[in-house]
Structure 1
Amino acid sequence: MPTIGNLTIERDTLILTEDWVLAHFSQLRPQVQTALANAGATDHSVDWSGLGRLDSAGAALIAELLGSDRLTALAESDTDLAPERRELLLAVARATSGLEVDPVSQAPTLRESLARVGRGMSEFYRGQKLLAGFIGLTLTALLAIVPRPRRWRLTSLVAHIQSTGLNALPIVALLTFLVGAVVAFLGATVLENFGATIYTVHLVSYAFLREFGVVLAAILLAGRTASAYTAQLGSMKANQEVDALRASGLDPMEMLVLPRVLAMMISLPFLTFVGMLSGILGGMLVCFFSLDISVTQFLTILERDIPLNHFLVGLGKAPVFAFVVAVIGCLEGLKVSGSAQSVGEHTTSSVVQSIFMVILLDAIAALFFMEMGW
């Protein structure tokens, strides 16, 4: 067999000679690839008695040539290897063993697919069970401090109200205004075919008083505030600040969770009210400029034909949505394991779960109110 630089194949033996170091990596790599292309060459015995200097780069090439399992077996069985060289080869073999993948990927079987679905359902069940338990723990802590005003965290509550409510006011108002204008424009386009463009006022009013005002505000808080809660508590959990509170005899539920939950429950009704007004204002402007419905006429129809219970239904859902969104954000933050990757994963999970629960609860509430005739 021909000699290939530092790598020689003679009969059933691979002979490694000269220096296998980083400086010679560019010359050694083609030789290793050529040997790998020779079918069965890597199954030969290895003679590294003539091997010169060896570093981690050269050991990695040897591991690529022989495979991590075979390199481990050869290094452990060869008594002629120096101890430091044996440890280097074993360390590189262990490090590269997890990087080797099976080149043949098979499609999952029906059993594996069903097992994956089952694991997903089991994880979803455990997550909902944990959420229910955390809701109970939050309510217990809330009932414990309500009769004790000295334990109220008013400074923290006011600070979270500012960050949750006041700072979110412009984006909520802008978004609902634009959605109100879009709803009015689409409604007018459809109703014009029936000569009933005047009912665009009813469409906008019903939509924002019952649904859009509270749902859009809750979804914005789910993406803006629930993620912030998760990131804040997750960072505290990663830095062991939550454990420090417990070691100091302080309750993290009382110190961290309750102010955030109460702040969102106070802020979301106000944001919902602002969202209702902004959405109706956007629809009013579209009606004024596109349908020749004056502001006075719009407000007259709104006062005469839209019952108050629609406003109360929309506003009544706000504290429930706020409680669920805040609890999910805090729970995901306290579930962080301690790494930056875990903080990112749970932040994403809190946003997805919050938006899902808001839409689910809104659908259930819509069916309930429809059956009740409210």
Structure 2
Amino acid sequence: MNADAQAQIEADIQSDKARNDDLPKILYKQAENSIIYLIKGDWNKNSIANVEDEIAQLESEIIAASNVDKIIIDLNKCGNIDTSGAFLISKILETAKNHEREAKIICQNEDLLNLFNKINSYHWDYTFDTVRYTGIALFGKKVYDTWKRFYNELISSLNFMGHTILCFWKAVLNPGHIRWTPTFAIAESAGLNAIPIVCVLTFFIGAVISFMGAQTLNNFGATIFTVDLLGVSVLREFAVLITAIILAGRSDSAFTAQIGSMKMTQEIDAMETMGINPMEMLVIPRVIALLVMTPILVLFAIFSGLAGGALVAIFSLGLSPTMFMSRLQEVGITHFWVGMVKAPVFAFIIAIIGCRQGMMVENDVISLGKNTTAAVVQAIFMVIVVDAIFAMIYNELDV
């Protein structure tokens, strides 16, 4: 047997072992007057058919065990459990209650306990006390839960990003598969329609930078360098950053609400049933639209920011238009490209976050509102973080 065949056999053995580890299992041990059932594996609609007969047998054993006063279900080693698996496990507890045995669940997962309590409230009419933490234990649990949510969110985001990049690359190789009509419609609503608000905000930001910079530099007799401050700050940072934040608040929320509404009305499920890839239909057009429109919006933001600063410099500081343009040319084209390089990166991040949050919407309005808020917050947070990373990279490159 060659090495490749041996490696394949070992891989098959490990794969079978992993699948067996995921199967639902019930291990138990009996004490003097109690039975402890250890639940292991995944208990969901695809796997519980393997243990339905075993559950029925356990119920018969509980009824026949006259010397048992307490039934304990240990869920600390279990895998994934959905409502069907939780309902099947609850039948053991229901049998114990009906035959005057004390029923108890041991579980450190509060969400899982809430699931069992919800099921029991509809069927068996009894609940279990949730795990209570105090002092340092409560603080540790909060820290652990926060990092766990952060880790899960990071892995999920990277997974969605990889899937989007793959679909985007396929679209680039096959332009005929791109949905151009929705792409142009999104480019108009998310890009062209955002030009007025972008121009107004950057105009006033440029004016503020020029005014505040002149007040500070005037103390050192260097008022003329206000133009340099305005040019560097608008070209490198403020134009692209303000544009990205506006897109995060304006367009990202729209992406999440649009896709989330389609998720709630099962339109996405209908697409998948008809063989239409939701990524190609919904995500890729939004990514392309923002990749194209964000640099254009940044250009408008640059001109508006410089115009606002120029008005303040000319009418309030007494600089002539010729002097202003002369000093602005001294700033150099490098700062312009430093800012423009960030535009497509921010556009990609904003589009992915908005679409991903829309895909995560569940079948209720509360979920839609929560995910829309999360999309805006995450997009603004990531834009600022990535901008800081760009700043450190440019600093190391001395750009």
Correspondent of 2:173 among 144, 147, 152: 147
Q: Given the alignment of the two structures, is residue 366 of structure 1 paired with residue 378 of structure 2, yes or no? A: no
Helix, strand or coil at the partner of 2:275: coil
Equivalent residue number for residue 286 of structure 1: 312
Distance 1:209 1:107, change over 3 A: same
Helix, strand or coil at the partner of 2:173: coil
Equivalent residue number for residue 307 of structure 1: 332
Equivalent residue number for residue 187 of structure 1: 213
1:1-42 C-alpha deviation (Å, 9 max, x unpaired) = xxxxxxxxxxxxxxxxxxxxxxxxxxxxxxxxxxxxxxxxxx
Cα distance in structure 1, aligned partners of 2:214 and 2:172: 50
1:206-244 C-alpha deviation (Å, 9 max, x unpaired) = 001000000000000000000000000000001110000
**Structure 2: gaps (5+ residues):** 1-120
Distance 1:289 1:241, change over 3 A: same
Shift of 1:276: 0.8
Q: Given the alignment of the two structures, is residue 276 of structure 1 paired with residue 276 of structure 2, yes or no? A: no
Cα distance in structure 1, aligned partners of 2:385 and 2:289: 23
Q: Given the alignment of the two structures, is residue 166 of structure 1 paired with residue 166 of structure 2, yes or no? A: no
Equivalent residue number for residue 48 of structure 2: none
Counterpart amino acid of residue 137 in structure 1: H
Shift of 1:145: 2.2
Cα distance in structure 2, aligned partners of 1:133 and 1:319: 20
Correspondent of 1:340 among 362, 365, 372: 365
Cα distance in structure 2, aligned partners of 1:132 and 1:232: 22
Counterpart amino acid of residue 259 in structure 2: L
Match runs of 1:52-63 below 5 Å: none
Equivalent residue number for residue 22 of structure 1: none
Correspondent of 2:142 among 104, 116, 125: 116
Q: Given the alignment of the two structures, is residue 225 of structure 1 paired with residue 251 of structure 2, yes or no? A: yes
1:113-147 C-alpha deviation (Å, 9 max, x unpaired) = 11111101110111111111111101111111222
RMSD over aligned Cα, in angstroms? 2.2
Stretches (4+) displaced over 4 A: none
Q: Given the alignment of the two structures, is residue 255 of structure 1 paired with residue 281 of structure 2, yes or no? A: yes
Match runs of 1:65-214 below 5 Å: 108-214=134-240
Larger of the two Rg values belongs to structure: 1
Q: Given the alignment of the two structures, is residue 331 of structure 1 paired with residue 356 of structure 2, yes or no? A: yes
Helix, strand or coil at the partner of 2:219: helix
Cα distance in structure 1, aligned partners of 2:249 and 2:178: 27
Equivalent residue number for residue 374 of structure 2: 349
1:149-195 C-alpha deviation (Å, 9 max, x unpaired) = 32121111110100011100000000000011011111011111111
Q: Given the alignment of the two structures, is residue 318 of structure 1 paired with residue 343 of structure 2, yes or no? A: yes
TM-score w.r.t. the length of structure 1 is: 0.71
Cα distance in structure 2, aligned partners of 1:216 and 1:240: 35
Shift of 1:352: 0.3
Cα distance in structure 2, aligned partners of 1:113 and 1:241: 42
Equivalent residue number for residue 93 of structure 2: none
Helix, strand or coil at the partner of 2:323: helix
Shift of 1:107: 9.4
Equivalent residue number for residue 59 of structure 2: none
Correspondent of 1:243 among 260, 265, 269: 269
Cα distance in structure 2, aligned partners of 1:188 and 1:145: 49
In percent, how many aligned pairs have the same letter?
45
Cα distance in structure 2, aligned partners of 1:267 and 1:279: 18
**Structure 1: gaps (5+ residues):** 1-93
Cα distance in structure 1, aligned partners of 2:396 and 2:172: 35
Shift of 1:108: 4.3
